[in-house]
Chains A and B, each alone.
Chain A
């Protein structure tokens, strides 16, 4: 067991840090947040400079962590251009990989994933979006909600029902995944405004009104979409855990900086113990989050994903991000409230919700442990 990162991963960390220092200025971060404006220019530069090295998933992981540690909204915006691409990697055919996946990994295209629906939330199998076969194409009707990259993606991977469930208990059957071109007739996008946090990211509602999708743009086999999406979530949740790790670490950075600069000292000349213990607790949680996230990643990157550890990492990272930002503001008082930490606090909460709520992650952990006998 080796807890040290290899030299090339360390280099990726340094590169991400340098990129964030150069481009994630407070002025840009604040403007993107205030105006709910996707940082198009920075994302373009990041693609040009190949900040995300998709040839090595560890590099992707640590890059997300470092960029988000500097600014969550900008960091997530820069690192989700390929959101959903692993579905092509594992289940797409060669033509789809060539046409859709490779341009995304090359930074030439942007991808989005349409799973969540207005009435569905965590209940993925309960989606209502339908795809009906008509000649050589499927016709999609329905809508998707809270879709990242909604207005900027060139293509979306969309989960839709292609056949009725065999029984109410087997709603997860009969779902399929399609590639939808954002320029398709009948396809409409409504940007969602007024988010609490991650306001630099682009989030939208998608509407499908008789959108035709060629048969060859179905990914994998008909009826196996639920399985594909769940497989993807077992990947993406690890990257969400990295987001949580970055936010929590960012909060810790700011609390330590405050402690050196402004914090009151006791009569013994040291920092007040209340603050010392709080720093220790946040630092310990950050370290625990890192260990569990990297453990989940090590299983995944060796192609032996462990959904129990993945869900543990995702929920624990989300809770740590929320906890760390809250405690840091409370302790930093007006210095926290008037710094970028307030943005971290708003940004953190989404991690408890997207890619499976914290409650859903906990249920996955227990149900799989009961079934399989342990992590």
Chain B
């Protein structure tokens, strides 16, 4: 890893130790609070990506930050990802400054790309007002929302919307997740080709999402390793038992390979296919490794105090909130076959 990334990694580690780890249950399950969000912003974590209009977004430093934030509380990494996504699309200086400094929050409705037509609600512009409802909004408690209209424009909603009843939340429980009702004349059209713009950002986030998965995998596998070294059963340490040791070792081997691939990708200019390869494998790994680590911890892994079960929930939530298996495999298959593939 390049020196600048190592410095960044250490900065995030210090930040985690100082502000996150002692509050992990609160940040995971309740709220991060304005003060902490401001701290995140003060580190510059919310504005690391640049504008998506740029040909190649700078997802490298962001990815290193997200990987390390996710090790303590994955919800903090997701909060950071949302802020960066928002700021990469919005240019209004008042709005961007407020989100970048943490005094306001912004989100982007990626759900527009994750479910089929008509399943994500409907937003229409009529007589100077945007009206309707948008489903599945991660960060629905935000001050600003970037979303798609039915007619294809990408818009920034500055006010005139309210979050509905909270949806069931498998993971990232401190981040708002609900439908949003809109009746707003306070908006800005960001792009006429909104879906294209949103898709562009979505694929740019492949490496950052993979980074969160890898950070979760590292943290939860370390917990598994640590516990297996001290916990005994039947007169042996858990690490001594072949099934457990072999399974965790095999998953860690996979993780180390992916980490090396991650490091290669962030020090070059990866293709969309490479970035999607990484995301595809990293999301699956985080789920597998969380499951194994929970199993190693037995009943204790099932309790939130041990900090394992959140990775089990969050890894699954991440793979649904920022990923759609069938849709992405169709895209990836087409890239691999170099012709349309995997659509029947």
Binding site for B on A (CB under 8 A): 30, 116, 119-123, 126, 145-146, 168, 192-197, 262, 264, 266-268, 272-275, 322, 326, 329-331, 333-340, 342-343, 345-346, 349-350, 352-354, 357-359, 362
B167 to chain A, nearest CB (A): 4
B interface, by DSSP: helix, strand, loop or mixed?
helix
Query: Which of A168, A338, A357 is the one whose CB lies under 8 Å from B167?
Result: A338
B88 beta carbon closer than 8 Å to chain A: no
Q: Which of A121, A197, A329 has the most CB of B within 10 A?
A: A121
A345 touches B170 (CB 8 A): yes
A197 touches B344 (CB 8 A): no
Convert B149-190 into 0s and 1s, putting 1 for each residue whose CB lies closer than 8 angstroms to a CB of A: 000000000000000000111100000000000000000000
Residue of A nearest to B329 (CB): A274
B321 touches A337 (CB 8 A): yes
Question: Which residues does chain B contribute within 8 Å of A349, judged by CB atoms?
Answer: 291, 294, 302, 312
Question: Which residues does chain A contribute within 8 Å of B98, judged by CB atoms?
Answer: none
Cα distance A331–B316 when bound, in Å?
12
B296 to chain A, nearest CB (A): 10
A172 to chain B, nearest CB (A): 11
Cα distance A358–B243 when bound, in Å?
11
A336 touches B298 (CB 8 A): no
A145 touches B303 (CB 8 A): no
B302 touches A334 (CB 8 A): no
How many residues of B are in contact with the other chain, CB < 8 A? 44
Among B81-133, those with CB < 8 Å from A are 111, 114-116, 119
A353 to chain B, nearest CB (A): 6
Cα distance A194–B321 when bound, in Å?
23
A267 touches B316 (CB 8 A): no
B313 touches A196 (CB 8 A): yes
> Could you write out 5 A-B pairs with CB less than 8 Å apart?
A126-B235, A196-B309, A262-B116, A262-B119, A354-B299
Residue of A nearest to B169 (CB): A342
B295 beta carbon closer than 8 Å to chain A: yes
Known: A195-B303, A275-B326, A333-B320. A352 touches B295 (CB 8 A): yes
B337 beta carbon closer than 8 Å to chain A: no
Question: Which residues does chain B contribute within 8 Å of A264, judged by CB atoms?
Answer: 116, 326
Query: Which of A119, A146, A196, A353 is the one whose CB lies under 8 Å from B312?
Result: A196
A192 touches B326 (CB 8 A): no
Question: Which residues does chain B contribute within 8 Å of A146, judged by CB atoms?
Answer: 299
A266 touches B343 (CB 8 A): yes
Residue of A nearest to B288 (CB): A326
B147 beta carbon closer than 8 Å to chain A: no
B304 touches A194 (CB 8 A): yes
Residue of A nearest to B283 (CB): A330
A357 touches B295 (CB 8 A): yes
Given A337-B168, A352-B295, 18 more pairs with CB closer than 8 A: A121-B298, A126-B235, A194-B304, A194-B305, A196-B302, A197-B302, A268-B344, A275-B326, A330-B320, A333-B324, A334-B320, A337-B170, A337-B317, A338-B136, A342-B170, A346-B313, A349-B294, A359-B295
Residue of B nearest to A263 (CB): B116
Cα distance A273–B342 when bound, in Å?
9
Cα distance A273–B344 when bound, in Å?
6
